[in-house]
Amino acid sequence: MLELRLVQGSLLKKVLEAIRELVTDANFDCSATGFSLQAMDSSHVALVALLLRSEGFEHYRCDRNLSMGMNLNNVSKMLRCAGNNDIITVKADDGSDTVTFMFESPNQDKIADFEMKLMDIDSEHLGIPDAEYQAIVRMPSSEFARICKDLSSIGDTVIISVTKEGVKFSTAGDIGTANIVCRQNKTVDKPEEATIIEMQEPVSLTFALRYMNSFTKATPLSETVTISLSSDLPVVVEYKIAEMGYIRFYLAPKIEE
């Protein structure tokens, strides 16, 4: 028996919107720790890891570990039927081939339940080792989204370089080139508007902008984004989900031929 009640149901709606462009089908894993997902995109270039900790739910019952295969477009269709202020409850019985999403309006005058068929998904689970990163950049998520969008109108790849001067995002295409430098800026009115760079040593890596733009679909989940970079490692683009967990996107770098 599984029963997860999330008062801030809009979080779940935002999570689905954040990942459904990147991943088509995925297993949602439920355990005592929380509600999690790990999935690769169809090209096996990027990986998304989601964790919503059990403590973040108003009610969390998970009698035994359960893995539920879902088509994310179908989940999204169901969750789009929930109001932004609705309380969402996810329910499943052991051994059942369906999951139920229950939506309650804030004043309890409307209750809806949507039952969705589960699917068998044979997915690889990758071990992600802890790594020390050469540079970690924290910046406003909206700023990062804007940079990725702007650069993708010029080129297909972005070179992210971190030096003591700041973080530079560069691209080149048929019509020309673009460079955007963000300097460390801690003296802002609100902490979420700061750009903070922790650099052990300079690093420069190249990534496909298509994936970066897809990661920025998670922007509504968090005001800040953390970008962790090391030579010869996938970049980690992390959006924290307030007091509940995170979405982390891993993207393999491009290398020179």
Partner 1 sequence: DSIQQGISTFFEEL
> What residues form DSSP beta bridges with 251?
46, 235
The contact pattern for partner 1, residues 37-56, with x = CB under 8 A and - = no contact, is: ---x--xxxxx---------
Cβ atoms within 10 Å, residue 142: 16
Would you say 35 or 207 has its CB closer to partner 1? 207
Rounded to a whole number of angstroms, the minimum distance from the CB of residue 72 to partner 1 is 18
What Cα–Cα distance (Å) separates residue 196 from each residue in 81, 182, 183? Answer: 38, 10, 8
Would you say 40 or 102 has its CB closer to partner 1? 40
Could you say which of 108, 129, 164, 190 contacts partner 1 (CB under 8 A)? 129
| Dist CA 216 CA 50 (whole Å) | 15
Burial of residue 255 (CB within 10 Å: 0-12, 13-18, 19+) is exposed
Q: By CB under 8 A, which span of 84-92, 93-101, 193-201, 245-253 interacts with partner 1? A: 245-253
Could you say which of 140, 220, 234, 245 contacts partner 1 (CB under 8 A)? 234
Would you say 1 or 131 has its CB closer to partner 1? 131
Would you say 31 or 85 has its CB closer to partner 1? 31
What Cα–Cα distance (Å) separates residue 230 from each residue in 1, 30, 55, 135, 206? Answer: 42, 31, 32, 7, 11
**Residue 205 in contact with residue 235, Cβ under 8 Å?**
yes
| Residues in contact with partner 1 by the rule CB under 8 A | 40, 43-47, 124-129, 157, 206, 208, 233-234, 250-257
